Structure 1
Amino acid sequence: MADLHVTPIGDLIEHDTSIDGQCACGPTDKLVKRDDGSIGWLTVHHSLDDREASEG
């Protein structure tokens, strides 16, 4: 689904960025406006080592 994936570096798992894959992290899909005015998908993957909790 996504045109672009953002994944955490050095996480506990290798994140699935395939077109039809279902990543274990439960990524969030967002519609984003491209520079040319068109709309695309951005998939943001979540870390499984809880680093977001400490980045607060």
Structure 2
Amino acid sequence: MKQDIKVKITLSEGYEERFTKACIQVARKRVENQEKERHPDPAIPARKVAVV
């Protein structure tokens, strides 16, 4: 039998702002990492993969 459960939460003061800032920071890091993958630094040698 399926039963719906309703929960009410109260966020502490400033939580939404801190959460939003953290999400933006994570998104920026993801974009930076994607850019690094697209434009690798020529000073760093590429990894060599051995085929067995």
Scaled by the length of structure 1, what TM-score is found? 0.18
Q: Which has the higher strand share?
A: 1
Scaled by the length of structure 2, what TM-score is found? 0.19
Between structure 1 and structure 2, the one with the greater Rg is 2
Q: Which has the higher helix share?
A: 2
